[in-house]
Amino acid sequence: MKSEPQPKFEYDLYNTEHRQQIKDFENELNGRSFEQFCYDVGFMVKNERYPYGAMAYSRLGEYEDARLKFGALRALKDIRKSAEKKEAEANQSLELDVNKIAELF
């Protein structure tokens, strides 16, 4: 009997609880690269035995969750960048409208 594949969990950026978890993860990263974060928290190890790095299989579940959060964080940053761009365009348009009105007086 074949078992049905389980759907993969994804963070929903429109769910406030998920969004807060992603923001907390962003604070935890504190500007580090994801790779450096993995070494710092112990998901990956680098030593004489593993000079190029190795995965700590006992923490694979935690790593997978961090990887999902990192992907969601990248998507959230893209949304922020897009919103900032739209806001800048709206402000520029508003500034042009105000200048046109000022010319009338």
Q: What's residue 37's pLDDT?
A: 94
What CA–CA distance (Å, rounded) separates 70 from 77? 10
Buried b (16+ CB within 10 A) or exposed e, 1-31: eeeeeeeeeebeeeeeebeeebeebbeebee
Rg over CA atoms, the chain:
22
Q: Over the stretch 28-85, which tens digit does the pLDDT of each residue have?
A: 999 999 999 999 999 998 888 888 888 888 999 999 999 999 999 999 999 989 888 8
Task: Give 92's pLDDT tier (boundaries 50, 70, 90).
Answer: confident
Q: 76 or 8: whose pLDDT is higher?
A: 76
Task: Give 4's pLDDT tier (boundaries 50, 70, 90).
Answer: low
Q: What's residue 10's pLDDT?
A: 86
Instruction: Give the domain ranges of the chain.
Output: 16-80
